[in-house]
Structure 1
Amino acid sequence: MAEPGVLDLVLLGAAVLVGAGTQRISGLGFSLVSAPFLVLLLGPFTGVLLANTLSLATNVIVLGQTWRAVDVRKAVLLALPAVVAVVPGAWVVRALPAPLLALTTGGLVLVALLAVLATERARVLHGTAGAVVAGAASGFMNVTAGVGGPAIGLYGLSTAWTGRSFVATLQLYFLLLNGASVAAKGWPALTPATWVVAVGSLAAGAVSGHHLARHVSAERARVLVAGLAVLGSAAIVAQALVELFGPG
């Protein structure tokens, strides 16, 4: 690929750094924060592939920092339906227009998120059934829209599950999901300079987020999760609308 300019590398590094820090503090958010910028700078295929690869690396790093707080049962409970949902999701992607899928899935999660934030009566994702639904929705959206975090954020809000256990457990969950994605698609083809900036920014973001997490209360983490989930779903819907009805 062509050698990126200095400004491109700076923007890429900033997106990765903020995404990694956000992931460490809230448990999710790397792809929501960094993927749009990576796609803009590197193109849709390479940008999404790099986001998946760096997200996987972020999961490993943060899991190494928080593994004592992992709830293995919840991680597996979420991951099993997510991996299963990847199969029909991959089939649907080939059968239907991607923007229409993104609009449908992103719109449904956005409506559900807003309902959960508006009233406790909408917090219906409880227990084993809630985890299965959230995991399946996350896996399906990860394949069809490239973002699996909003559905898991919805589950966290419904169950008031935040704090160290939420952050740690999601790393194991997304490690399994992103690992399957990277294994299926391979490594992105990047210049040496791009790899150096991406990996260096990833490490810096994980370290800074680790220190900042000590000063973020459970309530603030919950607000951050809600905000990221809503923004991620809204971004999916907006991008789908542009692709469906935009010029050209």
Structure 2
Amino acid sequence: MTLGVFFIVLAAILLGAIAQRIAGLGFALLVAPFLVLILGPHTGVLMVNICGVVSSTLIIGRVWRDIDWNMFRWLVFPSLLGSLPGSYLAVVVPSAPLSVTVGGIVLVALTVSLVLQRSDIVVSGNAPKAVAGFAAGLTNSMAGVGGPAVSAYALLSRWPQRPFAATLQPFFAVIGVVTLVTKLSLDPSQAPALEPWMWGAIGAVIVVGIFAGEKLSRFVHDHHARFAVVVIAFIGAGLATVRGIIDLTA
């Protein structure tokens, strides 16, 4: 990876960490399409998984009091069932189809989330939680994006923003670790080949992004932050899909 490309990756990760702290989600939505575009689908999604685990783990301590642990359990156990097949597919599917898949999943998930924001439907019970958890595990492992599934559930169940954003942090950390272990066990060669100082820089940028997001969250309304994340993610997902289609037809 050239220095120029690496600094672009750092900028994307910084924006993702800021969005994650402000809105509770958004790291993967914001970063995944661009890292897939820059690094390719296999390395890009794995990088998103790694950074997602780090950012969510760092945020947990700052939102601990607001975490709904009962909701966490209902989401996380079904998500593990989705993570295993999703990780396998992410390893064995060729790059071009995976680029289209990643971009397509993000585009569909974003569209569904926007439509549900205007819906009057209200869901309750444990079954929808389990479905949301399974879908999040599957899409997180395949495309590095698990937020839209649980975001859609939060909208339909009228889950308040504060406990929703807090509960997602341990949830993303757990499914991210499971995904990483599964993928690297199946194919260790997918690990991003970076210098030690690059990993240190990525960690530092995530920390800076989280603290910057915490400061900015005092001035940015939740729905404004989510709207910005959605717009940027739409652009990135569109570019990733187009790249995959071009590679398929080349």
Normalising by structure 2, we get a TM-score of 0.80
Any idea what the Cα deviations from partners look like across 1:58-93, whole Å, max 9, x if unmatched?
011100111111111111111111111223434555
Query: Could you tell me which amino acid in structure 2 is paired with residue 72 of structure 1?
Result: W
Query: Could you tell me which amino acid in structure 2 is paired with residue 117 of structure 1?
Result: Q
Cα distance in 1 between the residues matched to 2:128 and 2:200: 41
Confirm or deny that 1:133 pairs with 2:131. yes
Mapping 1:58-97, distance limit 5 Å: 58-90=55-87, 94=92
Moved more, 78-87 or 22-31: 78-87
Shift of 1:240: 3.8
Query: Could you tell me which amino acid in structure 1 is paired with residue 168 of structure 2?
Result: L
Moved more, 108-117 or 178-187: 108-117
Confirm or deny that 1:214 pairs with 2:214. no
Cα distance in 1 between the residues matched to 2:244 and 2:228: 24
SS of the aligned residue for 2:117 comes to helix
Query: Could you tell me which amino acid in structure 1 is paired with residue 200 of structure 2?
Result: V
Mapping 1:136-147, distance limit 5 Å: 136-147=134-145
The corresponding residue for 2:46 is 49
How many residues matched?
240
Aligned CA-pair RMSD: 3.0
Q: Is the 8 A contact 1:150 1:229 kept in 2?
A: no
Q: Is the 8 A contact 2:17 2:210 kept in 1?
A: yes
Confirm or deny that 1:196 pairs with 2:200. yes
Q: Is the 8 A contact 2:34 2:240 kept in 1?
A: no
The 1:235–1:118 alpha-carbon spacing in structure 2 relative to 1, beyond 3 Å, is farther
Any idea what the Cα deviations from partners look like across 1:6-61, whole Å, max 9, x if unmatched?
x3343222211111111011111112222333334444333322221111010111
Query: Could you tell me which amino acid in structure 2 is paired with residue 211 of structure 1?
Result: K
The 1:107–1:29 alpha-carbon spacing in structure 2 relative to 1, beyond 3 Å, is closer
Any idea what the Cα deviations from partners look like across 1:103-124, whole Å, max 9, x if unmatched?
775565345323313332xx35
Moved more, 159-168 or 134-143: 159-168
Shift of 1:164: 2.6
What residue ranges of structure 1 are gaps of 5+ in the alignment? none
Shift of 1:200: 1.5
Mapping 1:1-248, distance limit 5 Å: 2=1, 4-5=2-3, 7-90=4-87, 94=92, 98=98, 101-102=101-102, 105-106=105-106, 108-120=108-120, 123-186=121-184, 188-216=192-220, 220-225=221-226, 228=229, 232=233, 236=237, 239-240=240-241, 242-244=243-245, 247-248=249-250
Cα distance in 1 between the residues matched to 2:246 and 2:34: 22
Cα distance in 1 between the residues matched to 2:41 and 2:211: 28
Cα distance in 1 between the residues matched to 2:156 and 2:106: 18
